[in-house]
Amino acid sequence: MSAPLLEVRELSRRFGGLLALDRVSFAVQTGEIFGLIGPNGAGKTTLFNLISGVTPPTGGAVLWRGAAITGQAPHRLNRLGLARTFQNLRLFDGLSVLDNLLVALQRHPRSSALAGLLGTAGHQRAERQRLDTAWQLLEELALAAMAERPAGTLAYGDRRRLEMARALATRPQLLLLDEPAAGLNPAEKDQLCQLIGELRQRHQLSVLIIEHHVPLLMRLCDRLAVLDFGVRIALGKPDAVRRDPKVIEAYLGTGSGTS
Amino acid sequence: MIDNGLLVQMLLGALLGLSVYLPLAAGQLSLATPAFYAVGGTLAALLSTRWSALGATATGGFPLPSLLLELALGGLLAGLLALLVGRLVLRLQGIYLAIATIALVEIVRVAILNLPFTGGAVGIFAIPQPFASAAGYLLPALALLALAGWLCQRLDAMPLGRAMAAIRDDELAASCMGIDTTRVKLTAFVLSAVLAGSTGALAAHFLNTWNARQGTFDASITTLAFVILGGSRTWLGPVVGGLLLTALPELLRPVGDVRLVLFGLVILLGPVVAPQGLITPGLLERLGGRGKEAKP
């Protein structure tokens, strides 16, 4: 069997006296939607920050197709094919929706600064290609109508989709979604669930997703890992995880009322 | 009231405004512009007075191609210095970067004051003149400003300029989108230095004498005021700010000593009346200047 797309091996992160992540391991296979759940403060976002290079780990390793990428700069990891969204939305608020995507598209295709300054035919072709891709993504995520507006003026749900569009624009193989359904109403959550499935098909994505909304993950994910106080307490298919007594105790609560 | 000499000074002010604007467009508050201006000016003053191959005549004349060569060399030397210093100081953020760049201005000032070949406190004088009158300097100053303006305008429509804007909005998000933020910030810093260095080389000839007082902390604040008053969201802002604030002290001369108080008031009240600066993207849009690409 070939190496998994992403492997997290014994990954740890300590903040002073707090061990936010304690030797967490799992692997995401190509084409898979992999869910990460856990109560608040379980270390989910910390784990994302370690994987995307935002924070260096204090122990363990991250592997991309079997090669170590631990502690590399975020832009290098993005160029490898790993793109993320942020739980608390970090759009370029002063730029238009379209420009947010053009920023992410700057290496697709690449063009030299000299060609850009001189406005050569090659540069114009590259710009047209970027614009085409940007408009395609805007249509795909139902953002085309607001393309010229500053990103900061969009409604919350639109901002969430714009973050996904911006991450997709960097042509990732693995998309890291940090609580994409946070703040959405139930109908929007359903739409999002469908959208993520469609995007995976169309862009040949693997997805690693953090989510609080458990029913959504149960439906969407091929496999799940459960974190609690920085420790991975369960790993497996949704059905198995749902029945795991440790998970029920730590996260889903006992008895009924799981969402 | 505005003679040719003042016009040239205003254009030089606009150029220095753009030099402060470039790093700021990438979110970096650098006050190093006067240091690079001083480096360019000192180099031009030294070359034209010491190196006879450049063709300075006994009557104080100077060939135009040599001036252009000096503009290029002044920009190059300032750019190299920025490349070295930038790697270190651009690790700092916000006000810490500003303080580090003030330190650079001081280091360059003290160096020029004390080096054995820069003329000490008196400086270098009788710098040869490529033009017979101040009017002659209008053309190269305008050309340099046009070149800088064109560069800034092009940046808006290419990946580098968009990366700078993205870093200004959110550096972390920009790096997660595959942008090498260190490199983009360094590029903006070097461009800023090249512009200031070339401006200094031109100013050295125009002013006829050159000494350490040309690049001081005062100048850091004045050039920053150009950008704050003019606006930092488009490149036209610092140009307008540089033109206005250079002209103002001269235009206020008739009112006597009160003029510096009035000058201070303008700098103080500018941001209160127009927090975004005089020239904003919204204003330009209303004037119908710049349309963005429409949906195909």
**A64 with A183, same domain?**
yes
Q: Is residue B18 part of a domain?
A: yes
Query: Which residue range is the domain that position B182 belongs to?
Result: 4-216
B165 closest CB neighbour out of A95, A117, A167:
A95
Query: CA–CA distance from A80 to each of A36, B109, B172, B182, B197 (Å)?
Result: 22, 45, 17, 18, 38
Residues of A with Cβ-Cβ distance to B158 under 8 angstroms = 111, 113, 116-117, 123, 127
Q: How many domains does chain B have?
A: 1
pLDDT of B296 over the 50 cut: no
Q: What is the DSSP letter of A184?
A: -
Percentage of chain A exceeding pLDDT 70? 96
Burial of residue A88 (number of CB atoms within 10 Å: 0-12, 13-18, 19+): exposed
What is d(CA A54, CA A104) in angstroms, rounded to the nearest whole number?
17
Q: Is residue B256 part of a domain?
A: no
So what's the pLDDT on residue B1? 66
pLDDT of residue B183: 96
The answer on A259 and A178 residing in a single domain is yes
Q: Does residue A10 share a domain with residue A59?
A: yes
User: Is 50 exceeded by the pLDDT of residue A201?
Assistant: yes
pLDDT at position A200 over 60: yes
Instruction: With respect to residue B226, please indicate whether it lies within any of the assigned structural domains.
Output: no
A154's tokens = 């969009």
Same domain, A75 and A98: no
A72, A106, A114, A127: which to substitute to probe chain B, counting the most B Cβ within 10 Å? A106
Whether A123 and A141 map to the same domain: the answer is yes
* CATH number where A27 lies: 3.40.50.300
CB-CB neighbors (< 8 A) of A162 in chain B: none
Among A171, A206, A227, which residue terminates a domain?
Answer: A171
- C-alpha atoms less than 13 angstroms from C-alpha of A227 in its C-beta half-sphere: 29
> Which residues of chain A have a CB within 8 Å of the CB of B165?
92, 94-95, 99, 103
pLDDT in tens, A145-155: 999 999 999 99
Question: Residue B227 domain-assigned?
Answer: no
Q: Please answer whether residues B214 and B142 qualify as being in contact, where contact means their C-beta atoms are separated by less than 8 angstroms.
A: no
Q: Residue B291's pLDDT is what?
A: 46
| Same domain, residue pair A151 and A177 | no
Is residue B51 domain-resident?
yes
Residue A254: per-residue pLDDT? 59
Residues A77 and A6 in one domain: yes
pLDDT in tens, A83-105: 999 999 999 999 999 999 999 99
Q: Note whether residue A86 is domain-resident.
A: no
Q: Mean pLDDT throughout B226-253?
A: 92
The pLDDT of residue A255: 53
Q: ipTM strictly over 0.90?
A: yes
Residues A159 and A231 both lie in one domain: no
Residue A256 has pLDDT above 60, yes or no: no
- Domain holding A99, by residue range, is 92-171
Q: Establish if B174 belongs to a structural domain.
A: yes
Residue B285 at interface with chain A, using a CB cutoff of 8 Å: no
Residues of chain B contacting A144 with CB distance shorter than 8 Å: 295
Whether residue B174 lies within 8 A of chain A, CB to CB, comes out as yes
Q: Which pLDDT tens digit goes with each residue over A6-47?
A: 999 999 999 999 999 999 999 999 999 999 998 888 899 999
At residue B273, φ and ψ (nearest 5 deg) are -75, -45
Q: What DSSP designation does A248 have?
A: I
CB contact under 8 A, B158 and A117: yes
Contact A92 B169 (CB under 8 A): yes
Same domain? A259 vs A185: yes
Please check whether residues A67 and A103 belong to one and the same domain: no
A87: in domain: no
Supply the DSSP string of A211-224, one letter for each residue: -S-HHHHHHH-SEE
Chain A residues whose CB is inside 8 A of the B159 CB are 106-107, 111, 113, 116
Q: In what order do the strands lie in the sheet with A231-236?
A: A82-84, A174-178, A206-210, A33-37, A223-228, A231-236
Neighbouring-strand partners of residue A208:
A34, A176
Residues A133 and A33 in one domain: no
Pick the last residue of a domain from A171, A190, A207: A171
Number of domains in chain A: 2
- Chosen domain end from A171, A193, A209: A171
- Between the ranges A102-116, A181-195, B144-158, B275-289, where is the mean pLDDT highest? B144-158
